[in-house]
Structure 1
Amino acid sequence: MGAQTPVTTSTSTNTRPHLQLYLHRIDRLRDREENWLPYALPKGHARPGRGDEDKVTSVLLSIIYHHAPLPAVVAASPAPDRDGGGNAASDGLVPETTLPVRNGLCAVRQENPATIPASVPESPSGSFSDPLSTHHQSRDKRAFVGGELIRGWTNGDDAVYASDYFICANDGVGAWSMRPRGHAGLWSRLILHFWVAAMQEDITQPRSPGQEYRPDPVKYLQAAYERTLKATSGPSDCQGTTTAAGAQLFYKGDAYDSEAAVPLLYATNLGDGQVMVVRPSIQEMIYKTTEQWHWFDCPRQLGTNSLDTPNDNAVVDLIELEEGDIVLAMSDGVIDNLWEHEIVENVTRSVRRWENGEGGSADGPRYGGANGGMTFVAEELMTAAKVIAQDPFAESPFMEHAVEEGLPMEGGKLDDISVVAALCRRNI
């Protein structure tokens, strides 16, 4: 993210945290099949003109992201068998169902992020029965914090996540790359990681009879903010700020009655990322979050020296979904280059093309973008944003905003481009 940070000073001289991120070269779209869950909870953007039940709603997800215009590389943590990393099928929250999902991942990068020192080595195992007795954490090519794999994926300064019930796109403020201890990509990833962790802890905590779980995304984001401050302070000093945009799937009504349960989306935003809901059946956008700014190109942000906090500044909206709705979590690399109607047209067109047999092989019926279509939807949206971002003569929302501020500018905005696309579908 090429945005500004509202702070300019720092006095700490501590070293960077004992965390580790490695770059892995990716030259293909990677699909991974996961077991999918209903609701996954215990009782779950032409130019101008300008429970435990298997029977409620489920979501199909795809992640596509782009980091400016050069070689294809992505910092990614391979999916573990348990907690952390990317898309854990159920995150250990509820029993698995049989509905599969495929996630797509692709990226191109402009430059490598700052290097983070290796994790603190662990003592060798004292038993041959330990299957990891020859393994050293300092040689592990995955990112750890507090002994736990960091959830999600990193794309430049962006971080994205998708699980059975939650999607997220955080955008680290790139200006921190000019600071000696600045690492916006780490901040966006840690906020994401701890956001999901706090959510999981609340979902799985014991409750008395009659006491029902209700999502509280701002509470989870506040906890994530506080934990990230702690993890990046003291001897682990590392500076940065990030925006946050996430959507948690829940329901209203009777989870035990598939007809009565209505999918309910908790959309949370702080900064200039965006959650958008597109209804392809009527080719309309039915919801989007509102961008939050201090001034032009300086969004509200969480982190070092910023006065913004989730409790004070995050906004949550509740949106009733219908089967076939597509939920998007996007960094500003998308919405700075594509207008709202372009996003809707692109998503709707991609769904129709998928239904007509384009976009690759399907795992089953292709209606509405099911069985692999979200990968195609996200990839097409990312490609459209990338075309404008790389065109110095294009008309773009970012250019329009700059002109409104009296700044001479033309063309798109080169930035990290991250998209998570999710399809709402009833699990029969």
Structure 2
Amino acid sequence: MAASTASRLSPPRFHVPPRSPHPPLRRSRFSLVRAAKLEAVLSIGTHLIPHPRKAASGGEDAFFANSDAGGVFAIADGVSGWAEKDVNPALFSRELMRNSSNFLNDEEVNGDPQILLMKAHAATSSIGSATVIIAVLEKSGTLKIASVGDCGLKVIRKGQVMFSISPQEHYFDCPYQISSEAAGQTYQDALVCSVNLMDGDMIVSGSDGLFDNIFDQEIISTISESSGVDEAAKALAELARKHSVDVTFDSPYSMEARSKGFDVPWWKKLLGAKLIGGKMDDITVVVAQVKTVAVPDEGGDIEEQKGNEQGIAVA
């Protein structure tokens, strides 16, 4: 009986294989992947239609656009009054835009449109003046704007104008302007603002030839019917040109003129007449769409957990 009990209480025996000199590799639940971050960039389309009487010379508007980094664009509208002094108004606006493009990567500018305007203006030697707008998109999605005069900019989000800048005027039809003359405005007079943008936002900017001849709702509908930024810019410019030569179109320009006291003589008013029609001008249009892209993060690799949590970590 005792022997039987002792037998039952003996510890069980297990076969233990000899340990291999090369232990098996354990499969890790983690693997190295390249980290990525989201950056905002602009897809930009442009179109310019000169004033009908200035088509041979290309008009007096000038612009540049660059999609490097986040993206930047600028428009300068040469003031036509200089032609009365035998000065070509296009020379100033074109040189101002050329200098803006040249100083874009200047260390002092550092993505600031107001500083870019300062340096471009200081380097411009042509006689004349121009209204101007410069817009720079930071990779974070913030659009920084510096504007002198009545070039316009609107941001359209989900079929609505959610941001618009106001023109600067001394009085009706006499906007602020960057000038070669000491009495003119400088970068210090610029309207400076910024707006946070989202993926898919549309930016519509242009000289006054666009916004004097086209209403916001027309801009929205034209954008929605266009397949891309190039087509949208061209369609907006052509619609503005069509309105500009239509003497029966009650344009934004004619409506503003009446609101400022400009109208037909009183005796024409008695006959039911009123100041009406589009405004012929150079028409420059920039349409840009905000897109967010994932780019490699130069900070290095990160570990990614396998299984149900697979995916690249996005900062």
* C-alpha spacing 1:54/1:306, structure 2 compared with 1 (3 Å): farther
Shift of 1:247: 1.0
Q: Contact (CA 8 Å) 1:325, 1:423: kept in 2 or not? A: yes
Pick aligned residue for 1:421 from 287, 291, 294 = 287
CA distance in 2, matches of 1:328, 1:202: 28
CA distance in 2, matches of 1:312, 1:290: 17
Q: TM-score, normalised by structure 2?
A: 0.73
Shift of 1:325: 0.8
Shift of 1:215: 2.7
Q: Which amino acid aligns with 2:146?
A: T
Pick aligned residue for 2:123 from 227, 235, 240 = 227
Give the alignment of 1:59-208 within 5 angstroms. Answer: 59-69=42-52, 110-113=54-57, 155-164=58-67, 165-180=71-86, 182-202=87-107
Say which structure is richer in helix.
Answer: 2
CA distance in 2, matches of 1:111, 1:66: 8
Pick aligned residue for 2:216 from 334, 340, 349 = 340
Partner of 1:58: 41
Partner of 2:114: 218
Pick aligned residue for 1:244 from 104, 117, 132 = 132
Shift of 1:54: 8.3
* C-alpha spacing 1:197/1:110, structure 2 compared with 1 (3 Å): closer
Partner of 1:377: 232
Shift of 1:306: 5.8
Partner of 1:399: 254
Instruction: State the identity %.
Output: 27
Q: Contact (CA 8 Å) 2:112, 2:136: kept in 1 or not? A: no
Runs of 4+ in 1 over 6 A off after TM superposition: none
Shift of 1:55: 4.8
Q: Which amino acid aligns with 1:376?
A: E
Shift of 1:338: 1.1
CA distance in 2, matches of 1:243, 1:422: 20
Shift of 1:328: 2.0
CA distance in 1, matches of 2:121, 2:94: 11
CA distance in 2, matches of 1:348, 1:170: 27
Give the alignment of 1:306-317 within 5 angstroms. Answer: 307-317=183-193
Higher relative contact order structure (alpha carbons within 8 Å, sequence separation ≥ 6): 2
Residues matched between the structures, number = 245
Q: Which amino acid aligns with 2:224?
A: T
Partner of 1:299: 175
Shift of 1:57: 1.9
What CA deviation, in whole Å up to 9, does each residue of 1:379-428 have, x standing for no partner? Answer: 11111111110101110111012112322332000000100111111224
**Which structure 1 segments of 5+ residues have no match?**
1-52, 70-108, 114-154, 204-212, 233-238, 252-261, 355-372
Which is worse superposed, 213-222 or 158-167?
Answer: 213-222
Q: TM-score, normalised by structure 1?
A: 0.54
What CA deviation, in whole Å up to 9, does each residue of 1:87-146 have, x standing for no partner? Answer: xxxxxxxxxxxxxxxxxxxxxx64434xxxxxxxxxxxxxxxxxxxxxxxxxxxxxxxxx
Shift of 1:161: 0.8
Partner of 1:349: 225
2:43 is paired with a residue whose SS is: strand
CA distance in 2, matches of 1:220, 1:68: 28
Larger Cα Rg: Structure 1 or Structure 2? 2
